[in-house]
Amino acid sequence: MVDFVTHHDFALIDSNRTREISLLIQIVAATVGTSYLLIFVPNVETITIGVFFMGFTFKTKFGFKTMLTTLIVWEMIATASYGFSMIAFPFKFLAWLLFFFAAKLAQKVNLNGNLEFAAIGSFCTVLWDAVATLSTAMVLSKTPEEFTAVYIASLILGIPFTIVHVATNTYLFFMFPYLLRSVVPHLRNKFPSLVEVSLNDEKE
């Protein structure tokens, strides 16, 4: 009997974990898959909005796990397309972590307007590029003294890419509330223990 109960409990726990892993895989696949469709369009990607969604929608632990998995899978996919940079990855990770924290903050203050999300998207994307470019400067500068000059030059030369990145992310973040309204109710029904966000529509 005890064995049965234990077995039953184990099966139940296992089932919850399976559901959690299943959701994680779906979110990672959606984020990486949509970004892969755009891989040959420079600086247009959906990883950032995906990371923000993970931070905004889910509880911190699950959101972080999903983000980490997404970034690792994305780096593997991106590596197959244009090579892996060991130095760049930690900086990109830090930059995406910034979005994750911004999402958590936005969730805490119960942000819901299109313009507010667009503002976060545009501002944080500039910071993302600034942080990610640090790795370029590290690779290209030969001495610590020339690091600042190389960093500024790298930022300037990357401006067309930054503009594309900022413009597309601003648009995607502007649309973020629509994404939330279409996805969160389903997630809340199926995975109530993982979803943290509460939408204004739901409150009413």
Partner 1 sequence: MMKKSEIVSLATIVLVFSAMGIGYLIYENETQVQKNFEETVMITLTIDYGGVKPNETHSSTFTKGTTVFEITATFSELKIKNYSSLGILVEGINGVISNANLTNYYWFYYVNGELGDRASNLFSLEKNSNVLWKYEAFSG
Binding site for partner 1 (CB under 8 A): 113, 115-116, 118-119, 122-123, 126, 156-157, 159-160, 162-163, 166, 170
Distance between CA atoms of residues 136 and 158, nearest Å: 10
Amino acid found at 36: Y
Annotate 149-189 with DSSP letters as a single string: HHHHHHHHHTHHHHHHHHHHHHHHHHTHHHHHHHHHHHHHH
Q: Which helix (H) or strand (E) holds 26?
A: helix 2-37
Residue with smaller CB distance to partner 1, 35 or 162: 162
Residue with smaller CB distance to partner 1, 33 or 160: 160
Residue with smaller CB distance to partner 1, 25 or 157: 157
CB of 117 to partner 1, least distance (A): 8
Please name the residues in contact with 156: beta carbons below 8 A apart, sequence gap of 6 or more: none
CB of 1 to partner 1, least distance (A): 59
Residue with smaller CB distance to partner 1, 126 or 138: 126
Q: Could you tell me the two tokens for 44? A: 């247009």
Return the bridge partners of 58, or none.
195
CB of 165 to partner 1, least distance (A): 10
The terminus-to-terminus CA distance of the chain in angstroms comes to: 46
Contact 82, 200 (CB under 8 A): no
CB of 160 to partner 1, least distance (A): 7
CB of 170 to partner 1, least distance (A): 6
Residue with smaller CB distance to partner 1, 63 or 121: 121
